[in-house]
Structure 1
Amino acid sequence: MKLLRLTTITALSSTILMGGTVSVLASETREVTTEGQIQFTAPTDEDGELVVIPPVDPDEGGPDVEIEPEVPGTTGPLSIMKATTMNFGSQVISNQDQTYHMIAEMAKLTNPVTDGPTHVPYVSFAQVQDLRGNNEGWNLKVSLSEFESNSQNKILIGSQITLVDSAIRYEGSNQENAPTAHTAGLTLLPNGAAQSVMKAEKGKGAGASSVVWGNQKDLMDQFEAEGFDPEKDVVKNSAIQLFIPGSTAKDEATYTSTLTWELENTPDNSGGDEDDNA
């Protein structure tokens, strides 16, 4: 840091020079500059836990909710804070091709009203927080295992999940630094390659970024519709869909799949990646 020394003469002085008196007038100073400074470092475990930032702003009409991190105790500096759990509900066995919409996830209201709901349907989203401070970029990918049960026909052959549409919510003042979302209609195949759902090229993605599936207003309209009974009715999020062929044998059982979300430190910045469709 520069050290600025400023000397001023505050009074009229007299100097005796060779028997005479010479008057010296002080030099006026009307403007100076000094320096302020702050240094940032990437957070560590000692700096406390990170919190999920809901991607639908209450100031824009969204509900005020509290969302827990996917892994409690996450501290960063580069972390997946939230991922999507995909539940397609209970369905009647069919021998016709079927597409099922995901059951909307629920979020806890911050300040529920008396005798009102404590939870409301909320958009599905995956959130990355990058607090490294090096602007290196990152890539969030997801892969899908087979839908399996413990029954005779244990695998839902030919099933696939489609991420119909998405949006990016970037919590930053410069939206040019926002990451990008996957292309519409991204398909996840069981045991297929991991697909990129949100990518920040080098120089982008610092702070909190969310890839969002669903429309909050549509979800609330379903929830608040006349005659809706939360005890037996469900809100559907059409932005995430599961396709199962009619020819696939299905048992009276629950089939489950594992979604694996992976966050790479730095994405491929070469501009092309045939496997991730992003």
Structure 2
Amino acid sequence: MRLVTVSALSSTILSGGAVSAFAEEARNVTTDGEIQFTVPTDEDGELEVIPPLDPDDDETPDVEINPEVPGTTGPLSIMKAVTMNFGSQVISNQDQNYNMVAEMQQLRGTEGEENLVPYVSFAQVQDLRGTNAGWDLQVSMSNFESDSQNNILTGAEITFMDGTIRYEGNNQNNAPSGHTSGLKLLPNGAARSVMTASEGEGAGASSVIWGNQADLNAQFENEDIDVVENNAIRLFVPGATAKDATTYESTLTWELTTTPDADGPDADGPDADGPDGDT
């Protein structure tokens, strides 16, 4: 009886030892993480304009800028365009270039005109489609007209000087392209591209900026200067054009298309003009 018991016990121990020898250990495990993005709709809320200047720059005022069209929700939208006022000028028989009056923006968290400060002019596109299909931002202008006898400023044209691109994405290879300096708008002429994202570019928020913020700040702080001017956008008026003592107004049309020119903005150069509108 003793021999049988010992034999059975030894068999059990050996059997358990065999099971332990063939066990598998798990010390390196992978699991999945996932997130899905969808195109925003009206239910996802309104988009906000992103001020394009570097917020860490001491020259940059902290401002709140309203969307050009309140309630814009995307997914591909013009969030900001430029309103151009060339001020009050003395009638002249000489060719003249007039700088644009600097646009004013509200300091963040304030109200009232006393808290408005000059800010660079810019146009901003936000592309939240998630397709990387590209887009093209163009602008055109109508005649400067009035209700007076000489009701059209014949030969007037707007010139965009050096524009800079600000792309809010981390990958700057996705940034769109800007126009060349000296881009001209002619009354009733062809629309001109000011910022273009080719296929694979322009996702997120992109801005084309005109003006120098440090220069605007210096003018604003100078008590001898009554009107702060942005010299990056100019209106040319020929001296030979008859001008009445009244206000002339033009309409600027900003259009965002989804079929960008493969050659980028201003492919024909700054002097490629459409119809001259001098009739």
> Which of 14, 30, 33 is the matching residue for 1:33?
30
Q: 1:172 to 1:268 in 2, by over 3 A?
A: same
1:241: which partner in 2? 234
Question: CA RMSD of the aligned region, Å?
Answer: 2.3
Cα distance in 2 for residues equivalent to 1:163 and 1:213:
8
Question: What whole-Å deviation, never above 9, does each CA across 1:107-149 have from its counterpart, x for those lacking one?
Answer: 0000459x99401000000000000000000000000100000
Q: Does 1:176 align with 2:176?
A: no
Cα distance in 2 for residues equivalent to 1:271 and 1:80:
18
Q: CA deviation at 1:265?
A: 1.4
Q: CA deviation at 1:30?
A: 1.3
Q: CA deviation at 1:276?
A: 7.7
Question: What whole-Å deviation, never above 9, does each CA across 1:224-256 have from its counterpart, x for those lacking one?
Answer: 12444xxxx110000000000000000011000
Cα distance in 1 for residues equivalent to 2:31 and 2:113:
56
1:262: which partner in 2? 255
SS of residue in 1 equivalent to 2:56: helix
Cα distance in 2 for residues equivalent to 1:56 and 1:39:
31
2:78: which partner in 1? 80
Q: CA deviation at 1:28?
A: 1.5
Q: CA deviation at 1:271?
A: 6.2
Unaligned runs of 5+ in 1: 1-16
SS of residue in 2 equivalent to 1:58: coil
Q: CA deviation at 1:98?
A: 0.5
SS of residue in 2 equivalent to 1:24: helix
Q: CA deviation at 1:217?
A: 0.6
Cα distance in 2 for residues equivalent to 1:180 and 1:273:
10
> Which of 2, 19, 33 is the matching residue for 1:24?
19
1:64: which partner in 2? 62
2:7: which partner in 1? none
Cα distance in 1 for residues equivalent to 2:38 and 2:168:
19
Cα distance in 2 for residues equivalent to 1:80 and 1:34:
41
TM (normalized to structure 2)? 0.87
Unaligned runs of 5+ in 2: 1-10, 273-279
SS of residue in 1 equivalent to 2:15: strand
State the aligned residue count. Answer: 257
The correspondence of residues 31-180 of structure 1 with structure 2, limited to 5 A, is 31-61=28-58, 62-111=60-109, 117-180=114-177
User: In the alignment, residue 242 of structure 1 is paired with which amino acid?
Assistant: L
Q: 1:194 to 1:272 in 2, by over 3 A?
A: closer
Structure number with greater Rg is 2
Q: Does 1:209 align with 2:206?
A: yes
Whichever structure has more helix as a proportion of its residues is: 2
Q: Does 1:223 align with 2:217?
A: no
Question: What whole-Å deviation, never above 9, does each CA across 1:172-229 have from its counterpart, x for those lacking one?
Answer: 101111001001000000000000000000000000000000001110010012444x
User: In the alignment, residue 162 of structure 1 is paired with which amino acid?
Assistant: T
SS of residue in 2 equivalent to 1:59: coil
User: In the alignment, residue 126 of structure 1 is paired with which amino acid?
Assistant: A
Q: Percent identity?
A: 68
Cα distance in 2 for residues equivalent to 1:276 and 1:139:
16
User: In the alignment, residue 94 of structure 1 is paired with which amino acid?
Assistant: S
SS of residue in 1 equivalent to 2:241: coil
Cα distance in 2 for residues equivalent to 1:169 and 1:180:
10
Cα distance in 1 for residues equivalent to 2:219 and 2:264:
40
